[in-house]
Amino acid sequence: MKVDDFKIVGTSVRRVDGLDKVTGQAKYTGDIIVPGMVEGKFLRSPYAHARILSIDTAEAERLPGLVAILTAKDLGDIHPYLGRKDRKDQPIIAMDRVLYVGQPVVAVAAVDAFTAEEALGKIRVEYEETPFVISVPEAIADGAPLIHSFAPNNICFQDELIKGDVDKGFAESDEIFEDTFEFPMVYHYSMEPHTTIAKVDSEGITVWSSNTHPFGIRQEIAEVFGCSLSKVRVIVPLVGGAYGSKSGGKIEPLVVALARQAATAVRVRQSVPEAMMTVRRHSAICKVKTGVKRDGTLVAKQAEIYLNTGAFAETGPIVTGRTLTRILGPYRIPHIKVKAYCVYTNTVSAASFRSIGGPQTAWATESQMDIIAQKLGVDPVQFRRKNLLRRGEELKPKGNPLDADLFKALDSVTQKIGWDGPVSKNGSGRGVAFGVTDPGAPLASTATVHVLSDGSVVLLAGTIEVGQGARTIMSQIVAEELSVPLERVTMRSTDTAYTPFDRSTGSSRSTTVMGKAVQLAAQDARRQLLELAAEQFEAPFEAIALRDGVAAAGNKAAAYGDLIHRHFAMQGGEIVGCGYAHSGMAPKPSNPLFWEIGIGAVEVEVDRETGAIRVKKYVSAADVGKALHPIQCEGQDEGAAMMGVGHTFYESIIYEGGQIVNSSLIDYKVPTFDDVPDEFEAILIEDQNGPGPYGAKGMGEGGIIPVAPAIANALAWSTGARIKELPLTPERVWRSLQKRV
């Protein structure tokens, strides 16, 4: 089949899960009922840092309907810590002390949620408060209380990137700019908070979970409870959003421990405030120093990045490592020195969040690019064009060269926005920014395609449907390769008991990596169908055509089901195709597997009396390689941009006295339809330059990155107010404007 013959891939078919979702028939973890299931709740720490002196559960134990109570003393026979193999620093429940407000201290199970909640109120915990640190400057200050004894100065992890000689570069620069930017803690706000059901019986451990890393969670649970992988089963129904908040174990191991204690199935459904006390995005402080020539040529960049990772490492070290590249931007800089620090604090742990480390660092780099352009008196678009890397150039040392045409992408957004300068004729501000990331996109994905005896097809693949449309995309690939109608393909939910292994759903990898595995599996099944047809028709391979579920050669034809029936002597049977996406799918070194590009251009109006900013136009461009489902691609990019609008204008988890003071959606504002730009457009750039099926590349993360700096740049050009701390609340903007008066 030629690329030009696409009929299903490349078209915006109806989503395979769409009808169930819009009619309320879709089943999520919280909808599942397991026989004998009881409800679980966690008693959480009210203190940011304290020793646990005693826990009195006597009154709660007398409560009718209580099934089980779990504390650290019940975990002596397991290994109750999560984390990196070299540093398992996170207990599944507080052991002898608490390290942040909201950390689970006691878990209870009862016949219903009301009884469980009542039981929590009858438990008495005695604490001894100890000093705590919330911000990075507090945590790294001399004499600050240590959160973990193995982490001097509360430094969890640090890394650096060096290229050229930065001191020489600054000596050769005509102008040097130094700025510090701050990015807030942000809550993921998946519509479905973390939910888990667990059962422990003679067959092992079964977990139903709202997560995106079922095989990783299986591994974590096996390690915690000291059992083989074959004794742990993780089932994932549809997931109501994740954005990184459901990567790896969150509440799953603790729910398993509670189910073991209760000797029956236990369900824990968290509320939004509880989910906010489970995981968040890293806040960041970025100190950036950049040297340039008078003609606008970038010469040197030095940066220090401090990430607030919370009480435990989680994925903090990985995020820290990614910031080294992401703070560079897509620019040609001969001399570079970047240091990044992951810092422990007494706050909820930070973890993966859409484009890890990208929004934080681009906020700094792309804002400073306009500061430089303004000082040099040059157009910010032309300043970027002068320094942009070209396709094939090196962005990070020893990494794969850039695989995209950034000039084409930049031209596409500036033309759509009507760019003729950073201030329009009517005084509106305009801004532009890049988001170029090196997604992890780890390999190791497996898929199987089963052609059944009636010609229908079942796909087994571990990619999780979190709302991004993965089931539709994977089904499209299978239908395309097997030449069958889309409605004949069914992708099953993930169940580690029978779904083949997949590394994870995240890092913009699903369409690229799992999509390749699915394509290979479908091609394997196609080959087997051709073999059956060749045998039964007594015809050569090249004479056989497959179309609409039928094999034909000359005047002979047979439906796929008939071929299978005859092969298995009319006893049914099935064809099974296997596909593996591993290191062989990309040239070495595959670091990264592909570059993900997001570019944003914006036009804004500012109410100088209130400080409110209105986004009049926003144009986003994504280099997708090949859009397998164009409408879903546009939706992904627009959704990412709107998440960027959230942390630009509103979102920030606020701590006071060690407590989160805005842990409800009344106090923590997210964008609504009123915040959608008056004119909003997503541009898909399709050069078929990706390593995925049909030349596809991952997307969905690049679009979130440029929003904040583009808007801040537009604000600065039109009003002179340069703000270096997010979010751009009306009050913050108004105060900045007053300083300009």
Which residues carry out catalysis? 701
Please provide the size of the chain in residues. 741
Residue from 637, 639, 641, 644 nearest 697 by CA:
637
Contacts of 440 (CB under 8 A, 6+ apart): 318, 322, 506, 507, 509, 592
CA pair distance 278, 249, nearest whole angstrom: 11
DSSP string, 212-252: S-HHHHHHHHHHHHT--GGGEEEEE-B-S--TTTTSS-SSH
H-state helical runs in 456-514: 470-482
Q: How far apart are CA 340 and CA 323, in angstroms?
A: 7
Alpha-carbon span 678 to 659, nearest angstrom = 37
Q: What residues have CB less than 8 Å from 145, skipping those under 6 apart?
A: 49, 130, 131, 132, 133
The DSSP string of 371-440 is HHHHHHT--HHHHHHHHBPPTT--SSTTSPPP-S-HHHHHHHHHHHHT-SSSB-TTS-EEEEEEEEE---
- Give the helix/strand (H/E) hosting 355: none
Which residues share a beta bridge with 87? 84
CA distance 292 to 173: 5
Dihedral (CA of 76, 78, 79, 82) sign: negative
Other CB atoms within 10 A of residue 654 CB = 13
Structure tokens at 724: 């270096």
Query: Residue 267 in contact with residue 197, Cβ under 8 Å?
Result: yes
Q: Burial of 63 by CB count in 10 Å (0-12 exposed, 13-18 middle, 19+ buried)?
A: middle
Q: Which residue has the tokens 């201290």?
A: 105
User: Which of 462, 466, 470 has its CA nearest to residue 497?
Assistant: 462
Q: How far apart are CA 237 and CA 491, in angstroms?
A: 12
Output the six-digit token pair for 98.
Answer: 């608490």
